Amino acid sequence: MNAKISFRGVSCRFDVAGTGFQALDRVDLDIGDREFVTVVGPSGCGKSTLLNIAAGLVEPTAGQVLVDERPVAGPGPDRGVIFQQYALFPWLTVRQNVEFGLRLAKVGRAERRRRAEYFIGLVGLGEFADALPKTLSGGMRQRCAVARAYAVNPSILLMDEPFGALDALTRVQLQDQLLRTWRAEQRTVMFITHDVDEAVYLAGRVVVMAAWPGRIHQTIDVDLPTPRTEEVRLSPQFAAIRNRVWHAVYHQRPEEGLPK
């Protein structure tokens, strides 16, 4: 099977105060079509950099990322990106925010309306379509950001700690809703989180990164039944995988975690 996203020897150096800082060191990772992969790792290990390279927002210093076997040369409508800080336009309503990407994609007015309506409903914001972001809670704003990314119908979702700033209940609701959409619409998802429970609950496979330099430490298959439910979340199998991931993240050998 060909990978949907393929990181091939991806390295990234940043120039910090005149010295090179190796943010990523030769990352190889294949994400299959319709796979849901989560990425966890200590702060600063290069998770966002990796995602931004796939998004076409950061250029690697070596290696490349292929999407559908073509090298990434910049952002594109095939990849929807969702950041932690709901990047909504404050002067646009929920509906206008969701329609924004569709406007860029030259989708006609009626079809824009229809799609915006559908995705706003899907994330449970139906009654707030005409509200401005500042009048919404953090959770609602993030739902709007999710709806906006879904609306352009990208085959890939790149999500960088999208639920990190939310309260626990909203987070669980958005996780379940994301999984439902993923199953229904069959997208490929690369989802970054620092929450080990979230990483296991969502994924078919968890990629654990290590820092200094940023690299892949281990990948762990999540062999849990789908659809994921409360029952799965509370099962001993879940706890066992969670503990494995936790161990891989927080008990990396000390010399692996020291700045070089």
Closest CA relative to residue 26, chosen from 9, 12, 47, 6: 9
Which amino acid is residue 94, in one-letter code? V
Q: Is 11 in the site for ligand ADP (CB under 6 A)?
A: no
44 near ligand ADP, rule: CB under 6 A: yes
Among 77, 39, 76, residue whose Cα is nearest residue 190: 39
Task: Decide: is 97 part of the binding site for Mg ion (CB under 5 A).
Answer: no
Contact between residue 245 and residue 218 where contact means Cβ atoms under 8 Å apart: no
> Considering beta carbons, is residue 84 or 175 the nearer one to Mg ion?
84
- Among positions 5-24, residues that touch Mg ion (CB under 5 A) are none
CB of 14 to ligand ADP, least distance (A): 3
Among 31, 45, 166, 178, binds ligand ADP (CB under 6 A): 45
Q: Is 227 exposed, middle or buried (0-12, 13-18, 19+ CB in 10 A)?
A: exposed
Contact call for residue 48 and ligand ADP (CB under 6 A): yes
Binds ligand ADP by CB under 6 A, chosen from 4, 7, 25, 46 = 46
Which is nearest to 238 in space by CA: 253, 226, 256, 255? 226
Minimal distance, residue 189 CB to ligand ADP, in Å? 17
23 binds, among ligand ADP, Mg ion, none (CB under 5 to 8 A by kind): ligand ADP
258: contact with ligand ADP by CB under 6 A: no
| 104-108 long-range contacts, CB within 8 A, separation 24+ | 105/77, 105/152
Q: How far apart are CA 54 and CA 50, in angstroms?
A: 7
Stretch that binds Mg ion, among 45-53, 73-81, 119-127, 198-206 (CB under 5 A): 45-53
Location of structure tokens 């404050």 = 90
**47 is a contact residue toward ligand ADP (CB under 6 A):** yes
- Chain positions contacting Mg ion, by CB under 5 A: 47-48
- Chain positions contacting ligand ADP, by CB under 6 A: 14, 16, 21, 23, 41, 43-49, 214
